[in-house]
């Protein structure tokens, strides 16, 4: 094999001015090296205590973005040590979190051998007794974190935001939400990785929400937060497609399964007093969209189209606007349409997406009529069906009826006899599989 071993050599961190800078040193034998960098802005002036274990773990999750270029069969860890249960946990994360990557590259599932040759690192000591109910909320620029922020503000909770490489949307949302001193993190990908991508090395989806999980624990310890309130919803539990006997889920690291696994790992190996959970776990995406519709001040600000930020491995500039051509855009349009005036929805996306005939195949994928559910952060097939049904109902007898809704009426509606009842059930549903702490209920 040309690249037999990936090595996590070491990590290094230092305080530089008001910031904490973290560096990781990786190598793919025989001759490829990386040095990614993280900067956590404006850390508190007090003593940070022992961060080695948490920084080491952030390096472990960072590995995946670089290891994927060659999928070396062995990962050698020199920077720290993992016990047998931890090694098994990380192998499971790679297997499930990289499922889409394996599917898209048409390769077998990768279960690397993990060898630890470093020293054991002790957990950081936390003194959270004085922190009360302080809550840290990650903000990415989409509608879900807006709902979490507004509901927690309404409940008069002590909250703050954090954002990793914040987009313009994320910055504006945090400002409008009143997060005056958000925690900002800059993550720099080593340019060598982008060069490898352009040369045709393996590339694809990684479990980004798992990265956020490990980062959020580090931030909670540094800045002194007891709770980390994610905005991952019930819909993320549904997979996309079967591959080699396993279900591939684009949103696996947002799912309740991952949340449970990570909470267990964090309590034992990271920071036992920090409580990581998803505030929106009981709800479907369409329920969250209904709640979001009550906050018009965010309509011009939010942006969750992934095409808006793509750079093609550094070869183009991101557009930073809704593309109105992808499954994420169509799904977002469909779940908002029933709860807003048509002009409001069209204003957000710059047009009425239901009038675009080219989006028919995507609509068919979303509702389960063609292929498999798109590899995007979209709702379940059933709730997509409900979204189009409620949109059709909202449009009424408008003439001419938008193309997609006309198609829905003629080709889809006759197949389903209980959409009215099922839509009410979804809009009023509550998933009891959640980790909402007492006093922090929706």
- Give per-residue pLDDT as tens, 385-403: 999 999 999 998 777 889 9
Mean pLDDT across the chain: 94
- Contact 137/178 with Cβ under 8 angstroms? no
Q: Are residues 111 and 254 in the same domain?
A: yes
- State mean pLDDT over 214-223: 95
Instruction: Output the pLDDT for position 329.
Output: 97
Strands (E), 240-325: 241-243, 246-248, 275-278
pTM of the model: 0.95
Is 442 or 337 the better-scoring residue by pLDDT?
A: 337
What's the rounded mean pLDDT across residues 240-253?
Answer: 95
Tell me whether residue 288 is in a domain. Answer: no
Copy the structure tokens of residue 170.
């994320």
Q: How confident is the model at residue 126 (pLDDT cuts 50, 70, 90)?
A: low
Q: Is 286 exposed, middle or buried (0-12, 13-18, 19+ CB in 10 A)?
A: buried
Percent of the residues in the chain that have a pLDDT greater than 70, as a whole number? 95
Query: What is the pLDDT, as a whole number, of residue 119?
Result: 85
* pLDDT value of position 306: 87
Domain count, the chain: 2
Residues 198, 270 share a domain: yes
Residue 438 located in a structural domain: no
Write down the pLDDT at residue 41.
97
- Is residue 406 domain-resident? yes
One domain for residues 97 and 192: yes
Neighbours of 324 (CB within 10 A): 18
Listed residues 241, 263, 278: the one ending a domain:
278
In a domain, 207, yes or no: yes
Residue 127 scores a pLDDT above 60 = no
The greatest distance separating any two alpha carbons of the chain, rounded to the nearest whole angstrom, comes to 71
Residue 84 and residue 42 in one domain:
yes
Residues 326 and 369 in one domain: yes
Residues 204 and 338 in one domain: no
Mean pLDDT calculated for residue range 176-185: 97
284-303 mean pLDDT: 97
Both 373 and 255 in one domain: the answer is: no
Q: For 29-64, what is each residue's pLDDT tens digit?
A: 999 999 999 999 999 976 677 899 999 999 999 999
pLDDT at 142: 95
* Residue 171 placed within a domain: no
Burial 72-107 (b: 16+ CB within 10 A, else e): beebbbbbbebeeebbebbbebbebbbbbbbbebee
Give the mean pLDDT of 103-131: 79
Residue 190, by phi and psi: left (phi above 0), alpha (psi -120 to 50) or beta?
beta
Q: Is the pLDDT of residue 131 over 70?
A: no
Is the same domain home to 247 and 359?
no
* 266/338 same-domain check: no
322 and 196 part of one domain: no
Residues 266 and 348 in one domain: no
Structural domain range at position 86: 5-121+183-278
Same structural domain for residues 317 and 407?
yes
Q: Could you say which of 278, 312, 347 is where a domain stops? A: 278
């Amino acid at each position: 094999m040309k690249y037999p071993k990936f090595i996590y050599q070491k990590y290094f961190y230092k305080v530089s001015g008001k910031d904490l800078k973290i560096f990781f040193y990786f190598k793919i034998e025989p001759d490829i090296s990386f040095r990614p960098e993280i900067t956590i802005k404006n850390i508190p002036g007090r003593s940070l205590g022992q961060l080695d274990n948490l920084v080491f773990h952030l390096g472990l999750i960072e590995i995946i973005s670089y290891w994927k270029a060659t999928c070396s069969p062995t990962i050698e860890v020199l920077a720290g040590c993992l016990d047998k249960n931890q090694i098994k946990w990380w192998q499971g994360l790679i297997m499930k979190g990289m499922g889409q990557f394996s599917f898209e590259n048409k390769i077998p599932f990768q279960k690397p051998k993990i060898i630890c040759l470093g020293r054991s690192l002790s957990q950081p000591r936390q003194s959270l007794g004085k922190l009360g109910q302080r809550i840290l909320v990650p903000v990415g620029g989409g509608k879900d974190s807006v709902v979490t922020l507004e509901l927690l503000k309404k409940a008069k909770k002590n909250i703050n935001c954090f954002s990793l490489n914040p987009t313009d949307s994320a910055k504006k949302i945090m400002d409008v939400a009143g997060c005056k001193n958000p925690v900002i993190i800059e993550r720099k990908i080593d340019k060598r990785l982008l060069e490898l991508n352009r040369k045709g090395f393996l590339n694809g989806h990684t479990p980004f929400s798992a990265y956020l999980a490990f980062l959020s624990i580090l931030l909670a310890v540094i800045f002194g937060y007891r709770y980390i309130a994610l905005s991952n919803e019930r819909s993320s539990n549904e997979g996309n497609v079967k591959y080699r006997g396993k279900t591939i889920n684009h949103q696996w690291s947002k799912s309740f399964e991952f949340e449970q696994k990570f909470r267990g790992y964090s309590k034992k190996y990271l920071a036992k007093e920090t409580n990581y959970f998803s505030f929106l776990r009981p709800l479907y995406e369409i329920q969250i969209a209904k709640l979001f519709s009550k906050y018009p001040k965010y309509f011009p600000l939010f942006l969750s189209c992934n095409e808006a930020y793509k750079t093609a491995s550094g070869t183009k500039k991101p557009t930073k606007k809704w593309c109105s051509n992808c499954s994420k855009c169509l799904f977002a349009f469909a779940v908002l349409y029933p709860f807003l005036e048509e002009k409001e929805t069209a204003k957000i996306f710059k047009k009425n997406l239901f009038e675009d005939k080219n989006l028919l195949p995507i609509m068919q994928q979303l509702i389960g009529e063609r292929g498999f559910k798109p590899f995007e952060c979209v709702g379940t097939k059933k709730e997509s069906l409900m979204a189009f049904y409620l949109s059709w109902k909202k449009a009424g007898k408008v003439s001419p009826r938008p193309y997609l809704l006309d198609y829905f009426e003629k080709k889809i509606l006759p197949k389903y006899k209980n959409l009215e009842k099922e839509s009410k059930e979804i809009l009023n549903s509550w998933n009891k599989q959640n980790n909402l702490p007492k006093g922090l209920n929706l």
